[in-house]
A and B are shown apart, each in its own frame.
Chain A
Amino acid sequence: AQRVTQPEKLLSVFKGAPVELKCNYSYSGSPELFWYVQYSRQRLQLLLRHISRESIKGFTADLNKGETSFHLKKPFAQEEDSAMYYCVTRGDSSYKLIFGSGTRLLVRP
């Protein structure tokens, strides 16, 4: 079964430091991978998808099939990046999303 693993429950960095939120997946085929984000008191929302290869709010994520990883990166963290981040893959039925356990990012001033 498809699965995504986020090994860190909490990641704390200082403003201006680089950020890397780790995600590893298990899937034998070509996975569809996404990052969702939930800011404090806001709704969960899609941040980016691997297929688009775009940068959103300074964040990028590259699919590494050799390492089965999809880490989320930003070179210089901002305080407003503090949020809960979920790595997500799409299930076999394609309607379903499978969420990782989430990593809380805390950016300190």
Chain B
Amino acid sequence: DVKVTQSSRYLVKRTGEKVFLECVQDMDHENMFWYRQDPGLGLRLIYFSYDVKMKEKGDIPEGYSVSREKKERFSLILESASTNQTSMYLCASSKSWQEAYEQYFGPGTRLTVT
């Protein structure tokens, strides 16, 4: 059973703080993803990684960066948090390019920026 874990379920940060969201998967998946989930907007892809140290921008990368130093870990970084980054953040992984349609999601981190 694939397990995707995220470091925090709830996080409250102040405007301008640097924020780290961590995601770990335990099934040796090649691909990892970061989304934000907002009511009425669905899920929007921020960044994804198809290999260690490889990353690609998604649809809304502005204000975010990522790091993937190890295969199992994918970090999302908010360099200077702003109130419009208040959202639910979901991490996901998928086994390979061929099976990229099936993504396994973490429980989410609800981030509030005040």
Task: Indicate if the CB atoms of B101 and A97 lie closer than 8 Å.
Answer: yes
State the majority secondary structure of interface residues on A. loop
- Among B11-19, B41-49, B76-84, the stretch that binds chain A is B41-49
Query: Would you call A56 an interface residue if the criterion is a C-beta within 8 Å of the partner chain's C-beta atoms?
Result: no
Contact of A32 among B31, B50, B90, B101 (CB under 8 A): B101
Chain B residue with the shortest CB-CB distance to A89: B101
Task: Indicate if the CB atoms of A99 and B101 lie closer than 8 Å.
Answer: no
Q: For chain A, give the interface size range.
A: 20 to 34
Which of A32, A49, A99 is most buried by chain B, counting CB atoms within 10 A of its CB? A99
Q: In the assembled complex, how far is the CB of residue A49 from the closest CB belonging to chain B, in whole angstroms?
A: 6
Q: In the assembled complex, how far is the CB of residue B81 from the closest CB belonging to chain A, in whole angstroms?
A: 24
Given contacts A43-B106, A44-B90, contact A95 B42 (CB under 8 A): no
State the majority secondary structure of interface residues on B. strand
Query: Would you call A57 an interface residue if the criterion is a C-beta within 8 Å of the partner chain's C-beta atoms?
Result: no
CA distance A85 to B103 in the complex (A): 15
Query: Would you call A30 an interface residue if the criterion is a C-beta within 8 Å of the partner chain's C-beta atoms?
Result: no
Given contacts A46-B102, A96-B58, A97-B101, contact A102 B42 (CB under 8 A): yes
Task: Indicate if the CB atoms of A90 and B100 lie closer than 8 Å.
Answer: yes
Given contacts A95-B50, A96-B58, A101-B42, contact A46 B103 (CB under 8 A): yes
Residues of A within 8 A of B (CB): 6, 9, 32, 34, 43-46, 49, 86, 90, 93-97, 99-102
Residues of B within 8 A of A (CB): 4, 31, 35, 40-45, 48, 50, 56, 58, 90, 92, 94, 97, 100-108
